[in-house]
Every structure is written in structure tokens, then in C-alpha cells.
Amino acid sequence: MAVDVVMPRLSDTMEEGTVVKWLKRVGETVEVGDVLAEVETDKATMELEAFDAGVLSEIRVAEGEAAAVGAVIAVLGGAAAERPAKLPAPAEKAAAKEPRAVPATERPVVASPSAQPPVREAPAKPPATVSVPPAATPASPAARTGTAAPLAEGERLRASPRARRLASDRGIDLASVRGSGPGGRVLEQDLDTVSAPGPATPAAVGERRVPLGKIRRTTAQRMAAAAREVPHFYASSEIDVEALVGVKDDLRGRGAEWQRVTVTHLLLKAVGLALRAVPEMNASWADDAVILHETVNIGLAVATDDGLLVPVVRGCDTEPLAELVRRAQGLVERVRSRRIAADDLLGGTFTISNLGMYPVSQFAAVVNPPHAGILAVGAIRATPVVRGKQVVAGQMMAVTLSCDHRVVDGVIAGRFLEALKSRLEEPRTLLE
């Protein structure tokens, strides 16, 4: 019977891998332990070894193409590839009717990255013509080495053939499915509780399916990871921006180079100075340590048609305002014209996300890992304010700081907002 070769999981957090090279061609005979292909993820290539003998009957993922973990990248069919399988069909039917029965033809997925040298030789007979006794299937890695199983590889493979095929068709990673069968075996009905990832879900009538571009996909993965792993807390402050708006308007009258100055530019400088004053906030999480950055480089969340990019304005604490305006304008221009370089996106130590151009009074952003914080800036609102003991018409702006609680605590957030508020409310300090 044909057996699927799937994209191996080389890391707990790996979502897809790329087939960089096929070392066997369709029609070629494969022996146990032969390297079928090399797959790559995160600058690492892994040799994918065969756990089973047979003939490579189909290659589904070409060299250079990516596939999700658990997706079928090839099929190893042995003689079954040429001969329509007679025996496997009933066996599979039986498995479908009686999912709890363990068919004698049950075989594990043929390739695994954990490939220790298999202890047993492959059956000499073409696998499709006989029922392979369970004893001929490679034992779990743990059983073979006698040491602790490094991966849950053995667990992952426990699934009925039908469940395995359905999972592959639906693009479901069996490792993510809790099996209800004996010993945690994944059965067909278990798959119904799992929603399949992207490609397998066709758009219904009245819907349109928009595949993710590279930027959106990266954003999705990083934000999901941040929401999952970063313990967030939030601290907000109301800033009286009457003077700040006055300074911005003054600057705009100072000549050509200042004509396009915005509140965001003033924020860059004010946040830069506040980070200098509270260096604990200018930090990153590094798993086993906190990194305190000596330079203050602020990423600006910029929306593009392709998704969100965060170009980095360097030296926000030391460079004069005019230089920050020039740098920020250059970056935004490069982002919008798609000429941004990797260097422009690297080395950030903090992030600002400004939605002040929309009627957003305040919002909280997701931390941009590994940064300690991100500042979400709302719109400037005309509102009554108390000055002295008088209620007068004023302009206020709400900022919300989202923090990684592993890096900073509430006191640091408070001190940072205090430093920021005083600079924004005394904006002459930004021009020095």
C-alpha cells in the first residue's frame, strides 16, 4: 500500500519547511535509511530518511517549494504504484467502518527526521501485496534507543490510515490532534473537532479568499506568537497637547524642510528622550536575560498595501529633531515605494503605533517582540480641560503603553509615561 511522506517537524514552533533537494526521483527504488530529500527551515537543512522500502511513486512538492508541517510531500508506493492495489482497499474500508480496529496493514509514515538507523531491515516482498505484520513496523524512537524520546514523533504517528489520509487531505497536522482511540490513536472523528489551516478551506459563495503575502504572513505569525507568549500589561496617560500642536504649527511656518513635520515626528523625539531618561524601558527580552540597549532606535508601524512594516528611526534620543524628521520621512517614503532595505527594519528597541489620523480615542497595541514596549497613540481631541481652576477648551491625546511584563514592571511604565508626558507638555525641550 502507498505510504505518505510528510514534511517533518524539525522544531516545536516550525510551521512550514522547504524542500531544497530531492535525492530520489520518481520511479526510483528506495531502501530503508536512504535519504529521500533535504528540507530546510530557519537556516537548517535536514536529511529526510526513508523508514520504509519501496518505489517513489509521486513527488508532490517540487524543489524550492514550501509545505506545511505534516503535509504530504511525496508518496512511496512500491509495486503498488504500478499495480492497482487489491488488498489495501478492503483493509482501508474495514478501518473506516471500525475505526477502533487496528488493521494488520497499519504502517507508520515512512520518513522521520528522528531517523535513527532502523533496527530492522525492510520486508523483502513488495509491501502492497502482503499484510505487513505490526512487528515489522519500526518501533517508536524511544523504544529503539532505550532513552527518553526526543520528539513526540512516535505519538504523532498513531493514527488510523483513514484519519491520516483525511488529515493530509484537509491539511491538518496530526501532531496537533488529540486522539480518542486506544493509546491516544487519532481516529477519523477526532479530525472533525479540528479546523484545517488555510489552503484546505475553500471560500464559500459570497466570500473571497485572500492568500497572505509574505509580509502579512510574517506579521500574523509574529503577532500570534507575541499574544501567546508575551505577558502584556497596559498603562495609559492623557497628554495635554495644546502646546505641542502650537509647536508643530510654528515649525511648519519655518521653511520647506519643516512643512511636512507631524505630531509623529515630535513623538519620536519625545519618546526618544523619555527612553533615555528611563533606560529600563529601552530593553528587549532574550529568554535568559534582559538586554538594555544603549542606542534608542524607534520602530514606526507603517501600513502598506502589503501589510504592516516597522522601519526603524535610529538615534531618537541624540539626533536633533530636524534629522529625525528627515530620517522618518526617508523611511516612510522607502516603505511606500517598496524600496525598503532589511537594514531599515533592523535594530529597533521600541515601537510607536499612531492611529491619530483616525477617530481612535485610544487603543492598546501588541508588543513587537523582543521589545519591552510599544506605544499606541490616539487622536488629538478637543475637550474641556482644567487649567488653574478654570475649565477651558483644550486638546488632549491619549497614549497607551503595552509592556512585556517579563522585561519591565508597572513602576517602570509609570516612570516612562511621566517622562514622556512632561516632554510632550513642555515641547520646547524637543527643539533643543
Report the catalytic residues.
405
| CB of residue 42 to another protein, shortest distance in Å | 5
| CB of residue 376 to another protein, shortest distance in Å | 20
Contact 278, 419 (CB under 8 A): yes
In angstroms, the CA 4 to CA 74 distance is 6
**Which residue, 22 or 416, has its beta carbon nearer to another protein?**
22
148 secondary structure, DSSP code: -
Give the sign of the dihedral formed by CA 54, CA 55, CA 60, CA 63: positive
Contact 47, 24 (CB under 8 A): no
Backbone angles phi, psi at 283, to 5 degrees: -140, 165
3 state DSSP class of 124: coil
Contact 384, 393 (CB under 8 A): yes
State the cell numbers at 38: 533535504
Chain residues binding another protein by CB under 8 A are 10-14, 18, 20-21, 38, 40-47, 49, 63-64, 113-117, 145, 147, 150-151, 218, 222, 284, 286-288, 291, 293-295, 297, 312, 314, 341-344, 346-347, 369-370
**Which residue, 135 or 148, has its beta carbon nearer to another protein?**
148
| CB of residue 72 to another protein, shortest distance in Å | 20
Residues 6+ apart with CB under 8 A from 294: none
**Which residue, 181 or 370, has its beta carbon nearer to another protein?**
370
Contact 21, 37 (CB under 8 A): yes
Instruction: Tell the residue number behind the cell numbers 484546505, with chain if given.
Output: 200
In angstroms, the CA 133 to CA 155 distance is 20
| CB of residue 48 to another protein, shortest distance in Å | 10
Give first-to-last CA distance, the chain, whole Å.
77
State the cell numbers at 394: 483644550
State the cell numbers at 431: 527643539
Residues 6+ apart with CB under 8 A from 301: 308, 309, 310, 351, 352, 353, 354, 365, 368
Residues 6+ apart with CB under 8 A from 97: none
| CB of residue 20 to another protein, shortest distance in Å | 3
**Which residue, 371 or 423, has its beta carbon nearer to another protein?**
371
| CB of residue 316 to another protein, shortest distance in Å | 14
**Which residue, 42 or 207, has its beta carbon nearer to another protein?**
42
**Which residue, 45 or 329, has its beta carbon nearer to another protein?**
45
73's torsion region: left (phi>0), alpha (psi -120 to 50) or beta? Answer: alpha
| CB of residue 168 to another protein, shortest distance in Å | 23
**Which residue, 187 or 367, has its beta carbon nearer to another protein?**
367
Q: How far is residue 297 from each of residues 256, 279, 314, 378, measured CA to CA in Å?
A: 26, 12, 4, 21
